[in-house]
Amino acid sequence: MRNLLRLTYKYSHIGLFLVLEAVALGLLIRQNNYHNYAFVNASSDVVGTLYDWRSNVTDYFSLKEQNEQLAGTNAKLMSNSEDAFLLRTYNNLKTTHDTFYIRKYDYQQARVVNNSTQLLNNNITINKGTRDGIEADMGVIGPDGIVGFVTHVSEHYAVVASVLNKKKFNVSVRTRKNHYSGIVKWKGYDPQEIVLEEVPGYAQLEAGDTIVTSGASGRFPENIPVGIIVKVEDAEKSNALFARVRTSTNFHNLYFVYVIHNLQKEEQLNLERAARDQ
């Protein structure tokens, strides 16, 4: 009996190892569940607050770059605003109450408080949450193009699955020149390179073509830049093309992003659901 006890004691650490390892792997597997909010941590307010403190310090080191990015965005906006255009002929007409356009997208600015590119599934934490009207599934863009979409929201923070999230992210795109449609995915490892897939075989892609969002999902407006084709490759087995694409957003220095509210998303989704259920 005593020997048995001594033996159990001697090997008890192996048992403990197996138990702890099982718990860890169990947590890891549970986390794969997309809707498991309980363990989604980076958006939790504790770590979010820590990240906030850090970026309060580190933001000073990149003020110049941030300013250039923001000034660039401003210049782009100004050159697109109403004031930049002149009405060519109808000098005697006046706009009074313009009901010709209705607003479809609303943009909200947010600051990046945490960002990763070294994992296989990279997330970005931003400092806006439910309190600011952020909801899951909203698209996020940066000054140079597409960034990702919101996956989890807490009161003051939100987690964005970036383009560099192998598991969660894909977006339907098209080439700006010829409107060939396709899907963009990240394959891991090089944070500057994504892959354009599911392009029809007859499409004529060229290095240098710009890839933009197609707006099909309703997450992003049309024509948001995604990247530029670096190299076109033939997939031997199927008659589909794929191409290596350089991302237009540099995920290494991302300071401010814009969250997109699609005001007609509900309508689009309801209609599509009704059509599917028929």
Partner 1 sequence: MFALIVQNSIRFVLLILLQGLVLNNIRLNGYINPYVYVLFIMLLPFETPRWVVLTLGFITGLSADYFTGTIGMHASATVFLAFVRSYILKLIAPREGYEFGTQPRLQEMGFTWFLFYCSIMVVSHHSWLYLIEAFRFSAMPDALLKSLFSSGLTILLIFFFQFLGFKVKQRT
Q: Does 31 bind partner 1 (CB under 8 A)?
A: yes
What is the x/- site pattern for partner 1, positions 58-97, by CB under 8 A?
A: ----------------------------------------
Burial class (CB in 10 A: 0-12, 13-18, 19+), 144: middle
- Helical H runs in the chain? 2-31, 45-58, 63-80, 265-277
Nearer to partner 1, 33 or 264 (CB): 33
What is the x/- site pattern for partner 1, positions 114-133, by CB under 8 A?
A: -xxxxxxx-x----------
Window 211 to 240, contacts with partner 1 (CB under 8 A): none
Minimum distance, C-beta of residue 192 to partner 1, in the bound complex (Å): 7
Span interacting with partner 1, options 76-84, 109-117, 174-182, 266-274, rule CB under 8 A: 109-117
Q: Does 263 bind partner 1 (CB under 8 A)?
A: no
In angstroms, rounded to a whole number, what is the distance separating the alpha carbons of residues 142 and 147?
A: 6
Span interacting with partner 1, options 76-84, 140-148, 159-167, 221-229, rule CB under 8 A: 159-167
Q: Phi-psi bin for 41: left (phi > 0), alpha (psi -120 to 50), beta?
A: alpha
* Contact residues for partner 1, defined by CB under 8 A: 12-14, 16-17, 20-21, 23-32, 39-42, 47, 50-51, 54, 115-121, 123, 159, 166-167, 188-192, 252
